Amino acid sequence: MHPSRDAAAPSPDARAPDFADVMVDVILGYECNVKCDYCSVEDAMRPHNMTTAEVLRELAHARSLGIRKAAFGGGEPTIRRDLLPIVRFGRDRGFESVKVSSNGLMYSYEAYAREAVEAGVTQFNVSVMAHTDALYERILGRRGALAAIEKGVRNLVRLGRPPVADLIVKDDTWRHLADVVEFWAARGIRTFPLWLVALVDRNRNNFASLPRVSEMRDGIVAAFEAGRRLGVDVYSRHVPRCMLPGREEHVRDLREDRVMVVTPGSRFYLWESAISPTAYSPKCERCRYVRGACLGVRRDYLERWGDDEVVPYEGENPAT
């Protein structure tokens, strides 16, 4: 998923003078080698890509602020020939960690996977859609995608860099979340953040892709249970704790990751984007976590489903 180009915020430079724990996440551009059915990138956005010089300037600026963590996304960053030289540039200039978010296809080439590790990528995030050929092909629009991504994951695991699996929760995946976790855990993945599909930009009218959390809760909880059984970390980034009662320990607020996003046309904090929980309903005002531990609900979710599922915590803190 990709931040909306409509997302706008005051300059992070003016709002957060201490950047020691901030990550700069550079969205290199919007070109991609697959056509995911839930992608939010409009066709008109595809030509918007940062030049190598622009990326290097952004990295230099981030280092001047004291930022030591970098990330690269898209679109699909691994299809850019300058990605790994850019990674080397960043590591040479003091970035202590570098994350790349990808669909994982390029890592099926062992030589590329090895070069990415040698260039200095310290964390690989792969968007995981499913655990069967048919479902993967339907979502990505590419035959043989599962086999290629599985090969890529195995290559990264052998290189000592097991990827983080960004698991997309949507209409045709939520029932299979536990099976997806089990499938990829068996291939060496140990970390599974759950992200709700977003109704923004190109996907804004694809209402069927985003069922109610109450409808998907059993599938989400089953994924948590699979993680507990398998000894892997499964947690939610988009669903507020009140929609997962009894499972609050699996909810992680996006503010835990201080991320400054740079795109070809904007700069903003991740938690201020259209794909992040940023809104409170009137019911939230009665909750002990409002404007505190809870960031709120995604705006597109409230617009689609309202706040019927919001249940304020008015008593003691739940066990976490």
Domains, the chain, in order of start with CATH, read: 12-276 (3.20.20.70)
pTM for this prediction = 0.90
C-alpha 130 chain-centroid distance: 16
Strand, helix or coil for residue 237: coil
Q: What angle do CA 220, 223, 224 make, to 5 degrees?
A: 90
d(CA 214, CA 194): 15
C-alpha 242 chain-centroid distance: 21
User: 33, exposed or middle or buried, with CB in 10 Å at 0-12, 13-18, 19+?
Assistant: middle
The 3-class secondary structure across 245-288, one letter per residue, is CCCHHHECCHHHCCEEEECCCCEEEHHHCCCCEEECCHHHHHCC
C-alpha 142 chain-centroid distance: 21
Q: Which residues contact 88 (CB under 8 A, 6 or more apart)?
A: 119, 120
d(CA 42, CA 30): 9
pLDDT 10s per residue in the chain (320 long)?
Answer: 444 444 444 444 445 457 888 999 999 999 999 999 999 988 888 888 999 999 999 999 999 999 999 999 999 999 999 999 999 999 999 999 999 999 999 999 999 999 999 999 999 999 998 999 999 999 999 999 999 999 999 999 999 999 999 999 999 999 999 999 999 999 999 999 999 999 999 999 999 999 999 999 999 999 999 999 999 999 999 899 999 999 999 999 877 788 999 999 888 888 777 778 889 999 999 999 998 888 899 999 999 999 999 999 986 544 44
* Whole-number pLDDT of residue 254: 78
* Whole-number pLDDT of residue 317: 45
